[in-house]
Structure 1
């Protein structure tokens, strides 16, 4: 059975109408990803730009110390707790642990100790004291070479954190501009060469279906259609690549051009937006009233 919350989520992701979303979910047996593609293929929805919707509370951090930098996310149940002094103190402790002990992954980070207590224990204690579930969701510990330089940026006090490693002519302004671009425009890859083949193939499949359903293109030669499809694929995928994005400070310029002009190159980057990909628990009063009224 397709629920009202599923329909609502799909509407938020695609901007399509309620009935179209319900039909898409029904046709796809409730599979959200397939439903998004179904709507796109029918020309009802644009690319899902909100698929990584922010749905949980907490804060992220990006911090640099010498040749080591870290990005991490700590979740809480409410935004109110994210302003709690104990919660902020916990983030300070975790930040210091990550920078000094440089754990390889999340499990290793939770096992790190501070004054005889593990990070996992500190989080458990914070949960008990604050009264909400607190969790260290993810971490990235990044080390750079001596000829490379970092850029870091924290947006809205920690709702989004971004870190980049660059090489070339070291310039603090360029580094800051690049991480602000990453934070605001959410690229997934540096260049098209970094994009997995299955991502490209998936987009090609979607665009092939869209073109096939376009009556205006029905009589076009196969070679022309192939060119149209590849053009659409390229257009839709370019915004996923950092160097192909429009530079936020100058939309007439690509990020790649800005980097080249300043003698810099991006080696890697990390971007965390708090709660992305986590479905937030919410009380849907409208759904509850409808359920009671119609005995659902």
Structure 2
């Protein structure tokens, strides 16, 4: 049977495949939509299997916040050309929207959720068939707090989400903190949340450096404690110097808005080498 433009458009809307891919699939399936969709899916699976050993180092990183919940999603591919494609970005956005609605516990749970009757895992395979590149859901992170904010750095390669201990905080204040996380890459909200093994390692590094400087052995612990305080000031969010105002810390900036306001959690993800 003859394939019409309306049929091709309908299949493209259902699958996201290109016009020629849809036309060829419909012709091969003699106009049967289910058969055409299966042809497109099989093509995606074949390409995904063939390119399994390729590195998907590019992609699109998006974040959003909805009330007390925020999430980051990264859909990865092989080239920046595909990463900047509007259909690829739209698929990433659709996955993020589902994450915000369903609040899955982890990335494996997210893959099983559906969009228009298709699992996210299958949709990614389908997209791989359309682009000819390896694709994968590279990251999913989320947090819950009384209020949340997100920040996406231009280029869709880096995103952050931050949770606060109070509701209805000023949008710009919250966004400033999310941008601080993006720019300064803290390892914890405060010094109490820095892992014990990280602290032990930093103390040992500080002691060894002091030894190399010729400091007396009995002074090493005191010197190391002084240097670990500097480490906390550089690497914990609330003690970091605010990038927009070098005279105050992030906690001081938050306290100016409300004496009890503080950040309680954050997530940061980037595709960029750091």
1:209 is matched with which residue? 208
Q: Specify which of 228, 232, 243 is matched with residue 227 of structure 2.
A: 232
Find the aligned partners of 1:130 and 1:76 in 2 and give their Cα distance.
Answer: 9
2:76 is matched with which residue? 75
Find the aligned partners of 1:186 and 1:266 in 2 and give their Cα distance.
Answer: 15
Q: Does the aligned pair in 2 maintain the 1:58–1:75 contact within 8 Å?
A: yes
2:263 is matched with which residue? 266
1:184 Cα deviation from its structure 2 partner: 0.7
Find the aligned partners of 1:124 and 1:248 in 2 and give their Cα distance.
Answer: 41
1:176 is matched with which residue? 175
1:124 is matched with which residue? 125
1:65 is matched with which residue? 66
1:191 Cα deviation from its structure 2 partner: 0.6
2:89 is matched with which residue? 88
Larger Rg: 2
Q: Specify which of 239, 242, 247 is matched with residue 244 of structure 1.
A: 239
Q: Does the aligned pair in 2 maintain the 1:86–1:126 contact within 8 Å?
A: no
Find the aligned partners of 2:144 and 2:227 in 1 and give their Cα distance.
Answer: 38
Moved more, 61-70 or 175-184: 61-70
Find the aligned partners of 1:230 and 1:142 in 2 and give their Cα distance.
Answer: 32
TM-score if structure 2 supplies the norm length? 0.74
Find the aligned partners of 1:237 and 1:258 in 2 and give their Cα distance.
Answer: 17
1:220-257 CA distance string (max 9 Å, x none): 3x443321122122213421100111100111211111
1:136/1:228 CA distance change after superposition, 3 Å: same
User: What is the Cα-based RMSD across aligned positions, in Å?
Assistant: 1.8
1:98 is matched with which residue? 99
1:167 is matched with which residue? 165
1:138 is matched with which residue? 139
Q: Which has the higher contact order (CA 8 A, sep 6+)?
A: 1
In structure 1, runs of 5+ residues without a counterpart are: 1-54, 278-296
1:102 Cα deviation from its structure 2 partner: 1.6
Q: When you count helix as a share of all residues, which structure comes out higher?
A: 2
TM-score if structure 1 supplies the norm length? 0.68
1:245-271 CA distance string (max 9 Å, x none): 110011121111111111121121111
Q: Does the aligned pair in 2 maintain the 1:57–1:78 contact within 8 Å?
A: yes
Q: Does the aligned pair in 2 maintain the 1:165–1:266 contact within 8 Å?
A: yes
1:275 Cα deviation from its structure 2 partner: 5.0
1:70 Cα deviation from its structure 2 partner: 1.4
1:200 Cα deviation from its structure 2 partner: 0.3
Q: Does the aligned pair in 1 maintain the 2:207–2:223 contact within 8 Å?
A: no
Matched residue SS, 2:173: helix
Find the aligned partners of 1:180 and 1:115 in 2 and give their Cα distance.
Answer: 34
